[in-house]
Structure 1
């Protein structure tokens, strides 16, 4: 039975069915790459164990049938890709926050039996769907690389050179200049209520950059350079005063 918004069959690889019932929240789209080849096979590369939902709309009038697949996460940018042959266009959008939707829109008049559409998980991060055979044929299109890229194995005889110790920078490593000839403004970003990036252990970027900036300033001053800092404490300085001090 063809009805509006019918749900397609979803045949998943066994491990996918077990793990993907409770997918973790993702900030980025689970869709890594997609391709429709000249034989009308849709292939997807996703993050491992992604939970996919496939749906179909028969269309009508001037609107052709549509097939869409929802994946976790949001795409970097919504976009439309012009199609060819029986495919009018492919769209990648955000139907709701945290969801990526891949839409394949067919030309008006194309007849599709949704019961024949099966999205099959072929591996933990690979999917394929055979689109209906059409006399007008398909043209290859896609984004990214759907092929599996296996890690390159290093030759057995390859040896990693030991890491050389890093020698701390000493004031004598810097050239001595005429005092007052050069002036440098150092801008430790963030500060005050703006912590910047926060590490796993709670370390705040504003504290790290301030300490580093003060150490650099001390090194430069010891060699005769006039150094100004936009902030010397935990305060938030607006951008215009920072630029004004530098100029």
Structure 2
């Protein structure tokens, strides 16, 4: 599913203060099945942009089009995964994964089949009856991924989903996410502030400038997968992106 941004801007009104321009004139096109990473410093509008794509917020100017249809609100074709997991603590893994299906009125036998399939896909067999408090951070995030995938969205919107994890778990989750993406062929728009994460995951990287967020650079990542973080190609691209970010910081 293609996602097109046309001159998207976002201004927040503030009481007794000047209006705050978070996003300014962003245009981009994300192809069906592409893994896009949006990279930038804290406060540059990454999350705001992702929320607008998902229909959770609205542009002040411009428009966002998903498969030819303007985004005017939440759309079942797009699923958002947050850093904070957003699981229901009183529901088991199985009940969390099946929540969206239940809300759509999917019959119990079909719902159970889908839930079991996605629990297997994210490697949580044997944990279906566990509660979120019984799981590690990485396992809880897998539940969030399975819940999003269970409703069969065309686009996954991921807002720094591994930011709260330790480095080892984060690296493992990145590998597992790529395996899931390769199996499902979903379009993924992934927000991060980690250059290493973006280079490891993405087909393409968009770098946003400090506020107001504008596209400061775009990088096609032509490094074959699975990617070796110690390779010359990886280190070269990582350096190039970091140099751009350093130049942007100097302009502030």
Query: TM-score by structure 2 length?
Result: 0.19
Name whichever structure is richer in strand by fraction.
1
Q: Which has the larger radius of gyration?
A: 1
Query: TM-score by structure 1 length?
Result: 0.19
Name whichever structure is richer in helix by fraction.
2
